[in-house]
Structure 1
């Protein structure tokens, strides 16, 4: 069942099994606030088991672009299009959030972003490949993030 992410009253609904559930909920709410403020888009997620097409698409890009296979279990996912950009998010039990920004236009920007919830370690599959910048968030505390540019077509 889809869940509308509330960035005013942050909830751990759907993320309870994560050891950093509060921080992950804040990270998810931070994304919801961004899309509401920038695009007037309501950020809705569903259990990863109900969004296997989204999870599979994100995992395919990770595998084919950088030979990355996330070790953590996906908890929730979402996909939507705003302003000519296809967006996909997967939130993992470890506290990791992976998003794909994929411009529909051939000449547009395409990238994969990684965000780490406060309190989690950098996943082994990412640790030696990426440096993470820090960003403060009122909803999520300190978020660490990194990204790479997608070269292929998906």
Structure 2
């Protein structure tokens, strides 16, 4: 897999039915290593090791219903009260981040109401803080660390 714009992390791999799988610490299982999964696993390690979010506050690839459509979010970080602090949308490295990507995470967030959004393809990362009162979002240089909450 290609080098991404994240620090290097020690991942566990195995071959399964002629496919490479990577261990997901959150789901506690090996998952098939696709380009998007490579980005997702880097995001998880980034949240755990760089931003110090507890493993118990992170959830990966769960079903989400939007207007009777079934969708899956990539990664969320929960607040201790169960509300969503960060919503992350991951794309494969070869996928360009576009307005459509931001529209997708905005649709998901209409249901989830996260305080922060992150969009990444592993090379380019975008961070936003939501302002629900003024109905806008502000781009940030980075996400807050867990200790700062």
Q: Report the TM-score when normalising by structure 2.
A: 0.37
Q: Report the TM-score when normalising by structure 1.
A: 0.36
Question: Which protein is bigger by CA-based radius of gyration?
Answer: 2
